[in-house]
Structure 1
């Protein structure tokens, strides 16, 4: 039986801003650039009380919480704090699978400190984060990854929740089916059409029927409903893509997306210059007003050598979209994917390892 811990920093970006600026403490903080096209990166718990959430258009967040304090993101600082958190995690295990800057899975079936239980490991990690970084983290502990992740959200913020092996089914039973990994809005609606709203109701459906309805994904649903997840913690997950996307406050026609695509290409270009490997594919992602997602990709013989040329490829991919002309879009994204294993030469202009994305004078973290 494995012992899995999911560590999740509480309102990470916003909490760092409140830590570093005492004037922001206790106030509704929204980490985002102001503007009609900006998206919320993070919201403090004071802002979440008003319904503000990550990935929400900033203009909507401003309507929900007019008194919110908007702070532009400082990713260089957040990355430095995340690195310190990683150092704390590594004191306990080498089996660490980061999901983002602010959360990770740990397999502590055997831990470096010789602590008796996974609960003690999680408590020690949370205490170190508090003492060394003046931040809080929540933890979920369970026999597998997906249950641990759900558990870490159970007593946020600054909480710890343990799901013992014999309690997995009773823990999952009353939860909405949408809490299961991979069950998004569309799948939740499909399940609701079958009168399946909770994990318990999903578990009661015969597995052959789920397979008939949803194919191989139906088998996975049946396993998740029973708390079955054999996926191991993967300690070295190699980045497969770099992307940036925007969700609009109002839907747009395809021919109106040019400026946003150009801006996203510039952002992806800046991110890509920190990646030592070479991408081979340019991707464009679109989501229609009725939530249909489509992607277009191209692996050219000569990859773009500037943000402008990356934007040109992305705009060419837009021209390959064959939908009715009055189709409106709510989201657009630009990405690079399919990285080579070998690092490029020092002269490679696309992925210079020493290029700076952050500001010239990042604040100390």
Structure 2
């Protein structure tokens, strides 16, 4: 007798217990009391919580369209080397996608406008536009897109001063409408502002029934019940509803629906301001949490907004292929699909939390909750002052000789100089503590060096490149052969600033205060000139917790790396392009996590740790490095599916 598959077993169990997927969504209509409305904002568990995700439509293409004054109806693509990184909607009508090459795109649409992103080249202090830049001499610049993105965020903040706004990527932002919506609820329905004298449970008394809602002009309503196949499609909030929507006015209408309708009004006005002031169209999704807002934003794209009411969540998620959900694609999604023989969210719902944890560990509770529409992540506004800057280059030809590095330092330094000067134009006291140089061979290993970056009045590419040259010599000098050949090839080079703060300038990095002062190494002054300073015999890579100890492991479909030292998975939100934004964020996260280990190690140093390190401590460091060389980082549970091992 053939063994029964897990899917057939669960099908039999479902039939026996009369299981229905909708039963798994148990918190769609939580009771809302006066306490919820009148008490301080309770965070992610607020039943009146409303989150939106606003996504700029074909952002890079829209930026170039506005810059060039191109008619919005004209097909346009943005090119980065031979690939396309943005395709506007008129171009998509010709079958052009981001998977197309720019030459194939021109064949499909001879009238296509093709714009290569701006690039830096050695000797230029600002990026420029060329028809056919050479990847061997030029570096991609996203400066223009960053500035336009900042303008959009500024409009969000101007239109919604009481809302929380989190920039998710260069073209996306989450907006927490909960506070402004609550204030608007009390303004429109003042009888909610005081608990009635005859309220049976005081503040915990449930609010009275909500008033009728007009969805006219609010956006696209995702239907509560899926329409018949011959009528499938979005339900527009223009007064035209399916039979299900008409019947929910009394039976299913909630105060959260009222909150969604108010947030939709706010969002529509904000999107209109972006279109009027900057000429960009956006698409938005409005729902109860960040996960659902992001899914909802892609329901119907281009200059529109979609609304997901709580009652519509089950039928929206159940038929969805679960591998389309962020972090459930790639290795993890394949492992779940193979283990449980499932493909959709509805197939996953019958699987118990115990079953998931037996296979994927304790962290799989996240999977269990996310497929049920539960997401407790907060919208966190990021500080205006960036803590780090990074310019990087995936090299078309690896660096194999020490003399090949300085060319790229001039290119990277030009970008850093421009960005730092732009920052100081808005905040004159802003200054980085440290300059950092990273070198990497694919995702096998990475090394870095850093030095204090003293204040100088005139920040130029030459000054920054001078520091980079010195760091490069320290990084590769001991390993170079007589002819300058390196024992390894460098495929990615990155130069950046860390510890960017407003206030005192020219401060030393944390490691600089604790180096043993027994030998001499070089440092540059504020004008980029060489000067001597005493340091310990051990270079920075021999310091416990230096950034060399963090080796990035490329995820397959997620943005994360695992620290071989603490075995923690560090998640990174990537940009849309394959070189600039994404590489910068990876390097930034790598550096910041390395700084954490530096501070942790310093706190554990013995009393004489400032003047030197014990032989026992050095032996411990050597044992740890040997262990890392002999075996890859141990990754347990669900985490092992979110990263790519170094030996693969």
Normalising by structure 1, we get a TM-score of 0.71
The structure number with the bigger radius of gyration is 2
Matched, 1:86 2:153: yes
Q: Return closer, same or farther for 1:311/1:171 CA change in 2, 3 Å cut-off.
A: farther
Conservation of the 8 A alpha-carbon contact between 2:285 and 2:293: yes
Alignment partner of 1:182 out of 327, 332, 336? 327
CA distance in 2, matches of 1:263, 1:128: 40
The aligned counterpart of 2:267 is 122
Alignment partner of 1:163 out of 305, 308, 314? 308
Deviations 1:28-79 (A, max 9, x none): 322235x45xx644332234454532xx7xxx62144124432244655544
Q: Return closer, same or farther for 1:109/1:9 CA change in 2, 3 Å cut-off.
A: same
Q: Return closer, same or farther for 1:22/1:119 CA change in 2, 3 Å cut-off.
A: same
Distance apart, 1:25 and its partner CA? 3.6
Alignment partner of 1:62 out of 89, 94, 102? 102
CA distance in 2, matches of 1:31, 1:43: 7
Conservation of the 8 A alpha-carbon contact between 1:261 and 1:334: no
Matched, 1:13 2:60: yes
Alignment partner of 1:101 out of 167, 170, 178? 170
CA distance in 2, matches of 1:216, 1:295: 30
Q: How does 1:1-365 map to 2 (within 5 A)?
A: 1=47, 2-23=49-70, 25-33=72-80, 35=81, 40-48=84-92, 50-53=95-98, 61-66=101-106, 67=110, 68-73=112-117, 75=142, 77-90=144-157, 91-92=159-160, 93-111=162-180, 114=184, 117-194=262-339, 195-237=341-383, 239=386, 241-243=388-390, 255=400, 265-266=412-413, 269-270=416-417, 273=420, 276-278=430-432, 280=434, 281-284=436-439, 287=442, 293-294=443-444, 296-302=446-452, 306-307=464-465, 309-310=467-468, 316=475, 332=492, 334=494, 336=496, 339=499, 341=501, 343=503, 345=505
Conservation of the 8 A alpha-carbon contact between 2:53 and 2:294: yes
Q: Return closer, same or farther for 1:201/1:133 CA change in 2, 3 Å cut-off.
A: same
Conservation of the 8 A alpha-carbon contact between 1:261 and 1:332: no
CA distance in 2, matches of 1:130, 1:10: 11
* Structure of greater relative contact order (alpha carbons < 8 Å, 6+ residues apart): 1
Distance apart, 1:160 and its partner CA? 1.1
How many residues end up aligned between the 2 structures?
Answer: 329
Conservation of the 8 A alpha-carbon contact between 1:244 and 1:267: no
Kindly report the root-mean-square deviation, in angstroms, between the aligned alpha carbons of the 2 structures: 4.2
Q: Return closer, same or farther for 1:297/1:118 CA change in 2, 3 Å cut-off.
A: farther
CA distance in 1, matches of 2:74, 2:493: 32
Runs (5+) with no aligned partner, structure 1:
288-292, 321-326, 351-365
CA distance in 2, matches of 1:200, 1:279: 51
Q: Return closer, same or farther for 1:85/1:110 CA change in 2, 3 Å cut-off.
A: same
The aligned counterpart of 2:578 is none
